[in-house]
Amino acid sequence: MSASAVYILDMKGKVLICRNYRGDMDMSVVDKFMPMVMDREDEGQMSPIIQIGEVAFIYIKYNNLYLVSTSKKNANIALVFSFLHKCVQIFLEYFKELEEESIRDNFVLIYELLDEVMDFGFPQTTDSKILQEFITQDGHKLEIAPRPPMAVTNAVSWRSEGVKYRKNEVFLDVIESVNLLVSATGSVLRSEIVGAIKMRVYLSGMPELRLGLNDKVLFETTGRGKSKSVDLEDVKFHQCVRLSRFENDRTISFVPPDGEFELMSYRLNTHVKPLIWVESVIERHAHSRVEYMIKAKSQFKRRSTANNVEIVIPVPLDADTPKFKTTIGSCKYAPELNSVIWTIKSFPGGKEYMMRAHFGLPSVETEDQEGRPPISIKFEIPYFTVSGIQVRYLKIIEKSGYQALPWVRYITQNGDYQLRTS
Amino acid sequence: MENLSIDYILRELSSMKIATDVPRCRHCLSKVLQLCSSIVAQDLSPFLPPVVNLMAHSDLLIKKSACLILTKVSECKSELFLLAVNTLLKDIEDSNPTVRALSLHTLCAMKHATFVEHRYSSVVKLLSDPSAYVRRAAVMSVVTMYHDEKSVSKDAVVVNRLYELVRDDDPLVVVNCLTVLEEILESEGGVVLSRKMVGYLVKRLESFTTWGKAYVMKLLQKYKPKSEEEILDLMNVLDPFLDNNCATISLYTLQFFLLLIKDLPDFKDDVFLRCQKMFLGVFTCGNSELISCFLDYLQKEHKPDKNAIQKLFADHYKVVFCKQKEPGYLKIQKLKLLVELIEEENFTAILEELILYSSDRDPQVSICSIGCLKRLVLEWPGVSTQLLKAFHKLLRSERNHVVSNTLQVLVTFSPETLKNLSEVSTQLCLIAQKMSDAEAVVAVLYLIGQFELDNADSLDVIEEFINKFSELDVKVKTQLLMTSFALFCKQPAMFQPILAEVIDLCMHDDDCDLVYQAKCYFSVLHTDAQTAMKIFC
């Protein structure tokens, strides 16, 4: 790929910041971009690539910003998209929110970052921890440890030498997200668990870590087939993990990057009962009112509890005078989302709750714009994983021989969790 | 509101105190950068004197900002450039690698002759710098140089040095060298990939950054192994990359494999299936642009090989289902893929999905989905009851574009197929009175002519159109003429007066084609009505 320039534009197409990488294009070419996007939007032919003459605009939208990359030749579209998304991620790590305001506040920092992540249109280092070494700005979010000395030659590209902490600690989060799609008739269209092990590493020197999981393949080869184990599918590792060792004897061994990163992800296709099930009866009386009866059921073990459950029920655009009745939790009408949000702070397993909502509808009907959006659910179940995955040990070996503490947490949460309504 | 005027900042920057007040100075420079960032041309040359002075400042951030501003005002000419060059040349000798790289970058970004004459020596010097960070920058600077002055950078010293640096310890230097060589030697076919070089790159591949891996994998696609043994070796070593974390790398690996096994077609299915996880993974990644790229690849490269796609997704078709929030273009691509995957077992589920999106609020998605339904009607003659129901429902939809799209798809069926769908016809007359866009009206009129309808209803419809004849679109008028004729052929007695009236109206229209057509119908009927009916029906 080779990007000629990268721009960040606001909703009206005004350039907030731009960086010319190759100098082979007039920078003002971007003026043609926004009118073209508008045209396309009007005609309903949206696409993430717009070609004007010999210039290709490859763009993504984030909040109310456009990140646009222009390219003349040989651009590798998929890679440019990945790069733009990566940029968003880096900006977010540096200043939490990415929006017009934060761009204005962090002008020089963005220039510095843009200088480092790409050179002459080719991506360079995009690892935020390594990037930090080249960034002189202070007071940004990432600065936790004293800045390590410049990495001159790195044995591994993701960790600098000479990192030092007073207290050596490792935090391990096992997070499983449940993706669910249920059809209007109540049959499960898709159900899948995406797991991730995220780490926050505050360790000095070049530590060597080994992680033991209750991996089924490992247990079978070592003759512990009877113990409880999980069958991980589609395992993906951070680049620091030695893949050859994993292939050989299923050991997960690695020199971790400093700070926060995702060590591995996996997928489980085993069919599990949807953790939170919602049945809805919607009665529409055109021109007068619409009534909802929502029944939510928790289908996990009694000793677990789902926290901060939010059931978002879409209602018509022009609904008014909301009335609610629930057995538990609270309901709120959120007109900006055209939804009712039913919040249940704590939802123990094996319970069933009801909610009724009543809305008035105007006698004159507006054109139905939104289709029938699905009900979506947010939740978080601590100390519980659907897969039953367990961290058996985390060994930390460093040549200076310090003792380090590993902390482990398990969480199951919603991913893309949607139930279509009829 | 802060004062952002050029004068004010200039005054601040030119004051003597500024060099000692670091935070104030940084702030002022960031304001200048904000001025630069607007594309609207502003003359920033007044800033040059203070900026050139600040380039020698010991604070790194001030230095960076000053250099950046300098590159933004590179168009103007000034004696100050000489001073700037000297500062840069001094910084190239600095002990801090960041400073060395920064000054080289700045030096190469300036197009002015004063800077250009020092480029070559500086770049060559820093190509052997002890710091990897500086070497990376130096390697990339070769391209900048090349684009300004083609002959200089192609000389043997630089090219040889770059080939040496391909063996550098730092992974980024290696990848940068490859990209640069590829670009400056483009006319000679890029980097020379010997067997040894390929072996070396494959060994280093794991250490590269994501972008580096992707780039090198793409580069490797140029390489053609000599023997089957070598092909198999390469495939064995590269196999893990088929399910890399980054789907794009996996895709390039797949492309490389497909090239390798061009003469070994037996492997193709296996290689493809090996990538199944990767493809399925992409669908759940949530990055719609990326999914779109992959679908695009599948559609373009493997459309002819329907079997392969079937094998990849048939058991996992649910992954392809659309999500409410996805952009229209992605939904369209997904629907197109779904219809390829349809089989006996998943027929109902996929059909349900297609029907759902047939009434999508995005007209493009809706028409694509209805188009897919059409394919089902043609390819699955046995299972049309469900489809019929679907069309019924669509025609009853409250959204005009859905009805219009449905009609336009119905029109494209052959008369035989339409016979199977005759139940749909009951609603046509109602729709004809409701619709307003020309395309839809033409379609509905055509269908009225085709189906065996309740004659009284059709008569009403035609009469209504005759009443507002003058307001109609030419296309609609033409179709009205043809429909009246078709109806006349079926029920001559009932429709004769109507046909006469329509022909009369058409013959007096402004559009000459329509007049000609009407005359043609008239003369044919006039000469021999019986034969005419036989011909036209």
Helix, strand counts (H, E) of chain A: 7, 23
Task: For residue B172, list chain A residues with Cβ-Cβ distance below 8 A.
Answer: 124-125, 157
> Which amino acid is it at A323?
K
Give the pLDDT band of residue A370 (cuts 50, 70, 90): low
A153 and B CB contact within 8 Å: yes
Q: What angle do CA B254, B258, B264 make, to 5 degrees?
A: 140
Long-range CB contact pairs, A325-331, < 8 A, 24+: A325/A355, A325/A356, A325/A357, A326/A353, A326/A354, A326/A355, A326/A356, A327/A353, A327/A354, A327/A355, A328/A353, A329/A353, A329/A355, A331/A355, A331/A357
Which residues are within 8 A (CB) of B111 and not within 5 positions of it... i.e. 6 or more apart? B74, B148
Alpha carbons A19 and A6: distance in angstroms, whole number? 5
- May I ask the CATH architecture of the domain A169-272+386-419? Sandwich (2.60)
Residue A145 has pLDDT above 50, yes or no: no
pLDDT of residue A310: 94
pLDDT of residue A142: 37
Nearest chain A Cα distance for residue B248, angstroms:
7
Distance of CA B471 to the CA centre of its chain: 41
Q: Residue B278: which of B248, B299, B235 has the closest Cα?
A: B248
pLDDT of residue B4: 62
Q: Which of A43, A59, A120 to mutate to test the interface with B (most CBs of B within 10 A)?
A: A120
Strands A391-397 and A339-348: unpaired
Distance of CA B510 to the CA centre of its chain: 44
Question: Which token pair is A232?
Answer: 């991980």
A354: left (phi over 0), alpha (psi -120 to 50) or beta: beta
C-beta of residue B323 within 8 angstroms of C-beta of residue B285: no
Q: What angle do CA B379, B385, B386 make, to 5 degrees?
A: 85
C-beta of residue A386 within 8 angstroms of C-beta of residue A349: no
Q: What average pLDDT score do residues A47-67 get? A: 86
Q: Which of A74, A122, A372 to mutate to test the interface with B (most CBs of B within 10 A)?
A: A122
Cβ contact A190–B39 (<8 Å): no
Residue B290 has pLDDT above 90, yes or no: no
- pLDDT tens per residue across span B318-353: 888 887 778 888 888 888 888 888 887 888 888 888
Strands A276-285 and A289-298: antiparallel
Beta bridge partners of A268: A193
Alpha carbons B148 and B123: distance in angstroms, whole number? 14
Q: What angle do CA B327, B332, B336 make, to 5 degrees?
A: 150
Task: For residue A112, list chain B residues with Cβ-Cβ distance below 8 A.
Answer: 64
Alpha carbons A392 and A250: distance in angstroms, whole number? 14
pLDDT of residue A249: 82
Considering only the beta carbons, identify the residue of A137, A151, A371 that sits closest to B61.
Answer: A137
Strands A405-419 and A169-182: parallel
How many Cβ atoms sit within 10 Å of the Cβ of residue B416? Answer: 8
Alpha carbons B35 and B37: distance in angstroms, whole number? 6
Alpha carbons B445 and B429: distance in angstroms, whole number? 9
Cβ contact B37–A374 (<8 Å): no
**Domain spanning A276-382 has what CATH number?**
2.60.40.1170
- Longest CA–CA separation in chain A, Å: 77
Which residues are within 8 A (CB) of B453 and not within 5 positions of it... i.e. 6 or more apart? B425, B428, B429
What is the percent of chain B where pLDDT is above 90?
2
pLDDT of residue A209: 92
Alpha carbons A150 and B101: distance in angstroms, whole number? 13
Alpha carbons B60 and B397: distance in angstroms, whole number? 65
C-beta of residue B317 within 8 angstroms of C-beta of residue B347: no
- pLDDT tens per residue across span A168-185: 999 999 999 998 888 888
Alpha carbons A227 and A212: distance in angstroms, whole number? 14
C-beta of residue A312 within 8 angstroms of C-beta of residue A339: yes
Considering only the beta carbons, identify the residue of A24, A190, A373 that sits closest to B319.
Answer: A190
How many Cβ atoms sit within 10 Å of the Cβ of residue A332? Answer: 12
A369 and B CB contact within 8 Å: yes
pLDDT of residue A198: 94
What is the percent of chain A where pLDDT is above 70?
91
Q: Considering Cα of B53, then B55, then B57, then B59, what sign does the dihedral take?
A: positive
Which of A247-256, A308-317, B316-325 has the least mean pLDDT? B316-325
Task: For residue B39, list chain A residues with Cβ-Cβ distance below 8 A.
Answer: 15, 18, 27-28, 30-31
A16 and B CB contact within 8 Å: yes
Q: Which of A190, A247, A264 to mutate to test the interface with B (most CBs of B within 10 A)?
A: A190
Which of A8-22, A389-403, B275-289 has the least mean pLDDT? B275-289
Give the pLDDT band of residue A343 (cuts 50, 70, 90): very high
Tell me the average pLDDT of chain A.
83
Residue A368 has pLDDT above 60, yes or no: no
A74: left (phi over 0), alpha (psi -120 to 50) or beta: left
Q: Residue A164: which of A143, A151, A142, A149 has the closest Cα?
A: A149
**Topology match between the domains A5-134 and A169-272+386-419:** no
Question: Which token pair is B280?
Answer: 């399925």
Residue A146 has pLDDT above 70, yes or no: no
Would you say the pTM of this structure is higher than 0.80?
no
Q: Which of B68, B142, B324 to mutate to test the interface with A (most CBs of A within 10 A)?
A: B324
Alpha carbons B330 and A256: distance in angstroms, whole number? 37
> Could you tell me the residue ranges of all domains in chain A?
5-134, 169-272+386-419, 276-382
How many Cβ atoms sit within 10 Å of the Cβ of residue A361? Answer: 20
Alpha carbons A405 and B75: distance in angstroms, whole number? 58
pLDDT of residue A357: 92
Tell me the average pLDDT of chain B.
81
Q: What angle do CA B134, B136, B141 make, to 5 degrees?
A: 95
Task: For residue B176, list chain A residues with Cβ-Cβ distance below 8 A.
Answer: 119, 122, 124
Nearest chain A Cα distance for residue B30, angstroms:
6
pLDDT of residue B536: 64
A25 and B CB contact within 8 Å: no
Cβ contact B215–A122 (<8 Å): yes
> Of how many residues is chain B composed?
537
Beta bridge partners of A151: none
Residue A291 has pLDDT above 70, yes or no: yes
- pLDDT tens per residue across span A74-130: 667 888 888 898 899 888 888 778 888 888 888 888 888 888 888 888 888 887 777
Task: For residue B352, list chain A residues with Cβ-Cβ distance below 8 A.
Answer: 183
Whole-Å CA distances, B277 to A225, A266, B242, B331: 26, 11, 9, 21
Q: How many CA atoms lie within 13 A of A350 on its CB side?
A: 4
Q: What average pLDDT score do residues A186-202 get? A: 89
Query: DSSP label at B488?
Result: H
Which residues are within 8 A (CB) of B500 and not within 5 positions of it... i.e. 6 or more apart? none
Helix (H) or strand (E) holding A183: none
Q: Residue B290: which of B240, B326, B335 has the closest Cα?
A: B326
| Torsion angles phi and psi, residue B194, rounded to 5 | -85, 170
Give the pLDDT band of residue A140 (cuts 50, 70, 90): very low
Cβ contact B324–A371 (<8 Å): yes
Alpha carbons B423 and B445: distance in angstroms, whole number? 16
Q: What average pLDDT score do residues A331-352 get? A: 91
A403 and B CB contact within 8 Å: no
Fold of A5-134: Beta-Lactamase (3.30.450)
- pLDDT tens per residue across span A217-234: 888 877 776 667 888 878
- pLDDT tens per residue across span B70-102: 887 766 767 788 888 888 888 888 888 888 988
ipTM of the prediction: 0.80
Residue B211 has pLDDT above 80, yes or no: yes
Alpha carbons B492 and B497: distance in angstroms, whole number? 9
* DSSP code per residue over B378-410: HH-GGGHHHHHHHHHHHHT-S-HHHHHHHHHHH
C-beta of residue A71 within 8 angstroms of C-beta of residue A80: yes
